[in-house]
Structure 1
Amino acid sequence: MSFEMLGLLAILLMFVLMFLRVPIAISMTLPGILGILYLRGPVALESAIESITWTQSFSYTFSTVPMFMLMGELLFISGISTDLFDTFRKWFGNFKGGLATSTIGASALFAAASGSSVASTGTMGVIAHKEMQRSGYSDKFSSGTIAAGGTLGILIPPSGAFIIYGILTEQSIGKLLIAGIIPGIVLTLLFIFTILITVKFQPQLAPDMNMKYSWKEKLVALKSTLWILVLFAIVIGGMYAGWFSPTEAAGVGAAVSVILAMAKRKLNLKSLITALERTLRSTGFLFAIIIGAFILNYFLALTGLPKYLASLITSLDVPWWVVMLLILAMYFVLGCVMDSLAMIVITMPIIVPIIQALGFDLIWFGVWIVVIIELALITPPVGMNCFVLKGAVPDLRLEDIFKGALRFVVPIIVMLVLLVLFPNMALWLPNHM
């Protein structure tokens, strides 16, 4: 049996284990361990596991992950998400579809602090759905808006997806985070445009509102957004200006979040312990998956499968855009059976050599991949954001959430096309760091 065939069998075994509901970390680690044992023997296996586990667990770059997660948890405790939605509601609530627009705006700003689509969806789901339901919004429309807004959590920095991608592909995490700013803003505007078009042609989905606030009330409400903007300026602006490395920026962000929570009188010993517990649990889950991915990737490198597939695809007599469409189709299918993190860690060893052979910039490709993952987060059958929203708001029907989210597939696809046509949308800011 050829080495490449062994690599394919390992990937097949991984998918079988996933379908059997074996945890993702084990599903990736077991085929890697068996493969290394078969090819190199127990001594090499022991050496590989020891080296990979030690190197990745004690990676200075990896400390970025728990710090940004802690920052998001502390901001959640501070109640900033409620304040953000209230601010946007006062500014835009009186317009047709204004509450849906407010949900997208609040989700975008919350994304600038949380770095997680799951956190953004769950947090905004409880707040925004009650308000839209009370105002007579369609459940499909409101839930779809919340699920779509949550996807911005992995595109607008700080983004956990960019950090994991940067570690796996050995790209600058700072540049990846900066690269998500302009696409994040553009996609937010595309979501808002989608809402405006929807209520224009289906006015029954969002009834007319009668919310009138004075300019004084609107200006006072802006205080909550200033906290996020200041935090964003310190963390992301500090990286852009070269004041902080990504790891240092994450630490500074967590420290500023502690100060913010204390200033809002929301931080006590119990809430601090809760934030730390959630951060540790999430970080442990991520580290287990990433270590498992590196073990599997080590075995795949031994088989030569990634290089073989890259040479096979690049030798095909087809235009580059056909290859990109095939990659898009592959991620669309994978998104039906696994979550976003699993897609990144499993596919990067195979996809990156192909992208490099085609001559594409890996920073640009990182943004493109994250936008594709946003698509997977709201499409059935495993649209993670939709399930998170169902868990946060049990009275919503999962069928309605998926149907409502499908209209936001269009702006995400438009975003993918724009990134291909105008790659500088993702590369301009990183190139000027």
Structure 2
Amino acid sequence: MSAELTGTLGIVVLLVLLLLRVPVAFAMFAVGFAGITILQNVSSAMALLASESFTLASSPELVIIPLFILMGNVASATGMSRQLYDAAYAIVGQIRGGLASATVIGCGGFAALSGSSVASALTMGKVSLAEMDRFDYDKRLSTGVVAAGGTLGILIPPSTGFVIYAILTEQSIGRLFLAGVLPGLLLLTSFVTAIAIICLLRPGAGPRGPSTTMSEKARAIAGALPILTVILLTIGGIYGGLFSPVEAAGVGAGAVILYGAVTRRLSFRILFQSARDSVVTTATVMLILIAAHMINPFLALSHIPTFVGEALLGLELSRLGTLAVILAVYLVLGCFLEGFAMLVLTLPIFFPVVLDLGIDPIWFGVLVVLTLEMGLISPPVGLNVFIVKSVAPSVPLGDIFRGVIPFWLAMLATLLMLIAFPQISLFLPDTMMN
């Protein structure tokens, strides 16, 4: 059997395993190990597994993952996410659709601490859905806005998606973080605009919330200052050159733990549980990365990346046309595969083509991560939709999927804007480097 045929069969087997809900890491490990064994021998597969596991486990750059995850877990446990939502609630809650807009703003702020879309959707769903129910919000709008708002967690830094992309493509984590700031804010603005349009067309979908006095607004904003300070300290520190991304993660995690200790909201039991959850999540990410370093050599040995690259270049499309084809593939795969699985599976194939075409890898990273976000709310997988379903079990799954449609379209519009104007993504990292 030829190397190309072996590689093709390996990809087919991998997709089947993923569709059967085999954990991503185990599926990639099995296919990669078996493929290398077939194309070379079992000794080579064993040697690669040992060397790559040690190399990844000893990589200092990966410390950023558990630190940012810990920061988000502690922030959620100490109520910092609630304070941010309350501040947005006090400012915009009294306008039509204001509670939905406050949810999006809260998701954006929490994303800047957790770096996780699932954590953002789960946390803000628990905080905001009951409040929107109290004011008789349309179920499609309330659940749709939580599912879509949670996707900000993978774009607004610190983003686990950017960290994985940086490791797989050997790009700068700091530059990717900075590249995600303006697109993240643009996407947040697009979501708020979508809410305004929905409430304009269907006024009953998002009734007005309670009015608040200036003193109440001031108290709510003051309550959110700790979380805003941590965000400015970490992201601003990276932008100002005070911290590396790893140092910023350590500073941020230390700051939220210190805040929890000073305010007596963080007991040893809560800290232990947050640390335990962080270890479990980090172990999951590490297993995926180790598996990625098993399947990538298999794909290289099978010449699949070369074959696909030559096929794309053979279409003789423009650079923009080839980029559109690649992103279209991500959009389709996002309907069936989990985001990390898509990154690990496709980057070894598409990234060489991107480099050959002279596409900026940082800009491409932002486009890919945004496309992954769209997969988080696309049927039939739509991970964030199922997360919201777990928080609001009485709402039919179909209603939640219908509720995310306007926000999916807002994400598509944002993606097109980022393609048309690359400097939205590249302005901050280029400024930092200069």
Q: TM-score under structure 2 normalisation?
A: 0.97
Give me the whole-angstrom Cα distance separating, in 2, the residues matched to 1:238 and 1:90: 29
Corresponding residue number in structure 1 for 2:77 = 77
1:222-252 CA-partner distances (Å, limit 9, x unpaired): 1233222211222112222222221111111
Letter in 2 for 1:398: L
- 5 Å-filtered alignment, 1:187-336, equals 187-209=187-209, 211-336=210-335
- 5 Å-filtered alignment, 1:330-369, equals 330-369=329-368
Aligned-partner SS, 1:408: helix
Please state how far the C-alpha of 1:329 moved relative to its aligned partner. Answer: 2.2
Q: How many residues align?
A: 432
Most deviating of 186-195 and 337-346: 337-346
Corresponding residue number in structure 1 for 2:370 = 371
Hey, which bits of structure 1, 4+ residues long, moved more than 4 A? none
Q: TM-score under structure 1 normalisation?
A: 0.97
Aligned-partner SS, 1:318: coil
Most deviating of 137-146 and 212-221: 212-221
Corresponding residue number in structure 2 for 1:411 = 410
Query: Is 1:64 equivalent to 2:51 in the alignment?
Result: no
Please state how far the C-alpha of 1:297 moved relative to its aligned partner. Answer: 0.4
Give me the whole-angstrom Cα distance separating, in 2, the residues matched to 1:149 and 1:18: 26
CA contact (8 A) 1:37 1:44 kept: yes
Letter in 2 for 1:416: L
Corresponding residue number in structure 2 for 1:105 = 105
Letter in 1 for 2:9: L
CA contact (8 A) 2:64 2:246 kept: yes
1:361-383 CA-partner distances (Å, limit 9, x unpaired): 11001100111011111111111
Letter in 2 for 1:339: E
Give me the whole-angstrom Cα distance separating, in 1, the residues matched to 2:101 and 2:378: 21
- 5 Å-filtered alignment, 1:86-97, equals 86-97=86-97
Aligned-partner SS, 1:432: helix
Please state how far the C-alpha of 1:266 moved relative to its aligned partner. Answer: 1.2
Corresponding residue number in structure 2 for 1:3 = 3
CA contact (8 A) 1:314 1:357 kept: no
1:317-361 CA-partner distances (Å, limit 9, x unpaired): 222333223222211221122211111111110110111122101
Please state how far the C-alpha of 1:21 moved relative to its aligned partner. Answer: 2.4
Aligned-partner SS, 1:180: helix
Give me the whole-angstrom Cα distance separating, in 1, the residues matched to 2:340 and 2:45: 25
CA contact (8 A) 2:84 2:227 kept: no
CA contact (8 A) 2:335 2:381 kept: yes
1:180-212 CA-partner distances (Å, limit 9, x unpaired): 000011111111011111100111211244x22
Give me the whole-angstrom Cα distance separating, in 2, the residues matched to 1:182 and 1:224: 25
Give me the whole-angstrom Cα distance separating, in 1, the residues matched to 2:401 and 2:391: 15
Identity %: 40
Please state how far the C-alpha of 1:171 moved relative to its aligned partner. Answer: 0.2
Aligned-partner SS, 1:69: helix
Aligned-partner SS, 2:31: helix
Corresponding residue number in structure 2 for 1:130 = 130
Letter in 1 for 2:176: L
CA contact (8 A) 1:112 1:228 kept: no
Unaligned runs of 5+ in 2: none
Corresponding residue number in structure 1 for 2:385 = 386
Corresponding residue number in structure 1 for 2:400 = 401
CA contact (8 A) 2:121 2:384 kept: yes
CA contact (8 A) 1:18 1:24 kept: yes
Give me the whole-angstrom Cα distance separating, in 1, the residues matched to 2:170 and 2:128: 38
